[in-house]
Amino acid sequence: MSRPANQPAASRLQLEYARVRAYSLELVRGLSAEDCQLQSMPDASPLKWHLAHTTWFFETFVLAALPQPPKVVDPSYKVLFNSYYVGVGERHLRAERGLLSRPTLDEVLHYRKQVDQYMQQALADIPQGSTLATLVTLGLQHEQQHQELMLTDLKHHFACNPLLPAWRAEAPEQQSSASTAQVYAYRRFAGGLCDTGASDAPFSYDNEGPRHRVWLEPFLLGERNVSNGDFIAFINDGGYQRPELWLSDGWDWASQRQAQAPLYWQQDHEQRWHAFTLAGLQPLNLDAAVCHLSLYEADAYARWAGARLPTEAEWEHAARTAPDLPGLFNQVWQWTNSAYLPYPGYQRAAGAVGEYNGKFMINQMVLRGSSCATPAGHSRPSYRNFFPPAAQWQFSGLRLARDV
């Protein structure tokens, strides 16, 4: 259908805004209001909260900055759906988000619709390359992060239900990545003085820069991610019971939890491994990349295999110089042995959005790549994901490295 002659074409930002926002709604298609209310642990949030918080971001940081901002939809949302932006004001306790039965899911969806209408009107007048346009792009990237969290959180919520419900018919984490008969091979990298950090990507977070140089000794990086079959060999060799393989904190973590396998794994009465997936409980695909590992488990496996975890600089250098390496993206996030710290010359962004990344540069470890739950187009070689070393509920796995 052709548009009227007096109707301007939608801007690129308007189209991108509509696309990203629509995908969030696709993720809750078929779910009930009760499903979207669940909060199974403090680190996970209800899907209803994710839908509202991403909307709050646009209302708070974009619409409120307009010369003539629209009326705030509901003043109480400023507190209910703020996450960690101390500079914005009070916040509802993260661990109690699941107690927010009001506003209802329908009211949150209506909130999204109202803000979307305001945003589409505003986007028609926001100049490309302006400060506001940059904030809109940040908001869309922020929503894509929450889209991945919606899947990881929902999987954890559903795993706590004895009925083990499914989100969809397909289980992306069960896709084969390597044959279990395939010997784990490495590719050699010469190293040297290498550039690292964001360069020519259309968008990057502030923590991806500034671009700088690092010296890398020659190293080997795995041709693929470690598979479920690989990890079962570690389990069968008593990997979880051998303290010499574990970091001190990791051994304490494994002992306290009596860890025996990655999160969501279980054995049936015949000792066959199964895994809870986004499509419910399924027999474990030995050829799929192992996921839902803590850094502690990844590090112990690497030591058992006579290898180590790569540094984030090694991983990025390999991703830039050998992009044909399978599974760098869209399988599992890959743990590195690099602490999440600022790059030389790093400066936080001004204002409240400066709290987005910089304040978390303590007690976190870096993961690289992207997972099967990452939205399309939301990954790049310089992307720095980060989580505490004990985190398992993300789609996190590993790729081995060795010194030459």
Contact in structure between 309 and 337 (CB atoms under 8 Å): yes
pTM (two decimals): 0.95
Predicted pLDDT at 365: 98
CATH number of the domain located at residue range(s) 12-159 in this protein: 1.20.120
Predicted pLDDT at 5: 44
Predicted pLDDT at 239: 98
Predicted pLDDT at 6: 45
Is the backbone of residue 275 left (phi > 0), alpha (psi -120 to 50) or beta? Answer: beta
Predicted pLDDT at 216: 98
Predicted pLDDT at 2: 41
Dihedral Cα 305, 307, 311, 317, nearest 10 deg: -100
User: pLDDT tens digits for the chain (404 residues)?
Assistant: 344 444 456 689 999 999 999 999 999 999 999 999 999 999 999 999 999 999 999 999 999 999 999 999 999 999 999 998 998 999 999 999 999 999 999 999 999 999 999 999 999 999 988 999 999 999 999 999 999 999 999 999 999 999 999 999 999 999 998 777 789 999 999 999 999 999 877 899 999 999 999 999 999 999 999 999 999 999 999 999 999 999 999 999 999 999 999 999 999 999 999 999 999 999 999 999 999 999 999 999 999 999 999 999 999 999 999 999 999 999 999 999 999 999 999 988 777 777 788 899 999 999 999 999 999 999 999 999 999 999 999 999 999 999 99
Task: Tell me the domain boundaries of the chain.
Answer: 12-159, 172-403
Name the one residue in this structure whose structure tokens are 């099967």. 372
**C-alpha to C-alpha distance for 203 and 139, rounded to whole angstroms:** 12
Fold adopted by 172-403? paralog of FGE (formylglycine-generating enzyme) (3.90.1580)
